[in-house]
Structure 1
Amino acid sequence: MTLPEASVQLYTLAEAFTADMHRSLDRLAAAGLTNVEAFDFVRRAPELRAALDASGLASPTGHAPLLSDELWTPDGSIPTPAPEAVFEAAATVGMRTVIDPFVDPQRWLTEAGVADIADRLNAAGDLAASYGLTVGYHNHAQEFIADFDGVSAYERFVALTDDRVALELDLFWARTGGQDVPALVERLGSRLLAVHVKDGIVPTANPWAPGAPAFGSDSLDQRHAGTGEVPLDAALRAAPALAYAVIEYDNAPGDVFTDIAASLAFLRDGGFVR
């Protein structure tokens, strides 16, 4: 089995990255990373590509909304660009796969809603192919609230999407959704392109369940990979064809570069990445 490459979701260091893109990327390269996963790249694609090239980094995957008119984040919503603009920017940056990072929880509660999400992502995949790209989806925990005939909304979605649609499983959020994460990883099999390596104390209730209180990322008790409650070891060993192990914190516990280095050490010391 070929080991995946390590990467880091740039949302993790959003504040530092916004303040000084070049220095942030240089620090990631100095830590030994060769890949990052871009976010909010459409408005700054040429600038980002130049900075990546200067630091010797690549962004083979990136997050951008493909399925929503407005993208929710725990720290505020951002408008959704046209898919053509997303794919043009992704090609400029040098990506291979554009991953939708979030779909509103209400859309996951019905079979019709799940089918619509799958249909839209399949159609986005058709358009992406004309740019030499593929598409994918990144979960949180709302995809695991509803189930239909004993199958979670998430796995129903997987069954309805084309095989060419990639999956990026956020291991922390899948566990928050009540999943046996290693078993889920095994069931997803070769569809699983990437995982988000994220650890911490798992919330006791799904923050996107109907009636849940307002949620913000600053409420999360996230910790260095291997020091929380998410079974990262078993999940990573269960993945048969993983390409990227992407470090991410929604709420980094300390200095963000130290936190990234700690999770990278977990991946390297455990023999989970090349």
Structure 2
Amino acid sequence: MEISVQMYSVREALAHDVQGTVGRLVELGLTHAEPYQLLEYRDELVRAREQFPIDFPSAHQSFLGDVDFPAVLEAAQAVGVQYLIDPFWNPADWTDAGKLRALAETLNQRAAAAAEAGIRVGYHNHHFELASRLEGRTALEVFAEELDPQVVLEVDTYWAAVGGADVPALLGALGDRVQLVHLKDGDLSQDASAQLPLGSGKMPLAETLRAASGVHYGVIEFDDYAGDMFEGIAASLTHLRQTA
């Protein structure tokens, strides 16, 4: 598993200085990062790839709704993205099997268009996709069954646990569909400010990492953190290196 970091974690620093922020991530020893709002940051990310020894193999960008998808694909190609991930969809739809299957069909259609550009698309969960039960399974598992084989999932392991999932079992059930995971820790509440560096919270991290051993990218993320964000990322990276 290659280690990356979700750049949403350092959004406050990015808002002031994209290149300086990328430089700080590189100084921590990171060679991969996962940008968000790909269309907004396209040009800065292209510049960062030219200046620093870092790449952006995955990125978050909403594309399942009303969006100029060719423009999204162009930005992804320019930045060097391999996995284009939609990070969020209406929680209410995850309680309705019909709407969920329609969403899966939309993602499958996007996947066909993205494949022509050499890009795989996917979806990233929060807690509600796991908290919702449909047909005796989690809504995320129902959704996954409807997806074309080329569509991937990026499982946010922390939010899956908050949603009530047995994360190692979930990763096993979803199998090769999961090409990326978000790695974070905390008290397993919905309070994002209670998140902590990896290894210092309640996540079953060792078991999760074993279950995710075949995943291509493990992405460190903090939705929020009470301490210094770069120190939190550094502590998480150190923990992963010690447990690898």
Report the TM range for the smaller structure's normalisation: over 0.9
Cα distance per residue 1:64-100 (max 9 Å; x no partner): 012134xxxxxxxxxxx41111111000101111000
Q: Tell me what 2:91 maps to.
A: 105
Aligned pairs for 1:117-128 (under 5 A) are 117-128=103-114
Q: Tell me what 1:243 maps to.
A: 216
Q: Tell me what 2:161 maps to.
A: 175
Q: Partner of 1:199: helix, strand, or coil? A: coil
Q: Say if 2:31 is the partner of 1:34.
A: yes
Which residue among 257, 262, 265 is the counterpart of 2:235? 262
Q: Partner of 2:57: helix, strand, or coil? A: strand
The size of the alignment, in residue pairs, is 244
In structure 2, give the amino acid aligned to 1:40: Q
Confirm or deny: 8 A CA contact 2:19 2:44 kept in the other structure. no
Q: Say if 2:1 is the partner of 1:18.
A: no
> After TM superposition, which residue ranges in structure 1, 4 or more long, deviate above 4 angstroms?
none
In structure 2, give the amino acid aligned to 1:134: R
In structure 2, give the amino acid aligned to 1:38: P
Q: Partner of 2:33: helix, strand, or coil? A: strand
Q: Distance in 1 between matches of 2:79 and 2:210?
A: 31
Q: Tell me what 1:135 maps to.
A: 121
Q: Tell me what 1:212 maps to.
A: none
Q: Distance in 2 between matches of 1:61 and 1:267?
A: 19
Q: Distance in 1 between matches of 2:49 and 2:140?
A: 33
Q: Tell me what 2:53 maps to.
A: 56
Q: Distance in 2 between matches of 1:115 and 1:170?
A: 21
Task: Tell me which protein shows more helix as a share of its residues.
Answer: 2
Q: CA deviation at 1:253?
A: 2.6
Q: Tell me what 1:252 maps to.
A: 225
Q: Distance in 1 between matches of 2:65 and 2:179?
A: 22
Which residue among 134, 139, 142 is the counterpart of 1:156? 142
Runs (5+) with no aligned partner, structure 2? none
Task: Tell me which protein shows more strand as a share of its residues.
Answer: 1
Which residue among 200, 203, 209 is the counterpart of 1:230? 203
In structure 1, give the amino acid aligned to 2:113: L
Q: CA deviation at 1:240?
A: 4.3
In structure 2, give the amino acid aligned to 1:126: A
| TM-score of the pair, normalised by structure 2 | 0.96
Aligned pairs for 1:65-76 (under 5 A) are 65-69=62-66
Cα distance per residue 1:111-132 (max 9 Å; x no partner): 1011011101100101111211
Deviating more after overlay: 145-154 vs 254-263: 145-154
Q: Say if 2:151 is the partner of 1:165.
A: yes
| RMSD over equivalenced CA pairs, Å | 1.3
Q: CA deviation at 1:145?
A: 3.0
Q: Distance in 1 between matches of 2:213 and 2:19?
A: 35
Confirm or deny: 8 A CA contact 1:109 1:145 kept in the other structure. no
Confirm or deny: 8 A CA contact 1:166 1:192 kept in the other structure. yes
Identity over aligned pairs, percent = 40
Q: Tell me what 2:41 maps to.
A: 44
Q: Distance in 2 between matches of 1:117 and 1:229?
A: 33
Q: Distance in 2 between matches of 1:220 and 1:22?
A: 26
Runs (5+) with no aligned partner, structure 1? 70-80, 208-216
Q: Partner of 1:224: helix, strand, or coil? A: coil
Confirm or deny: 8 A CA contact 1:171 1:232 kept in the other structure. no
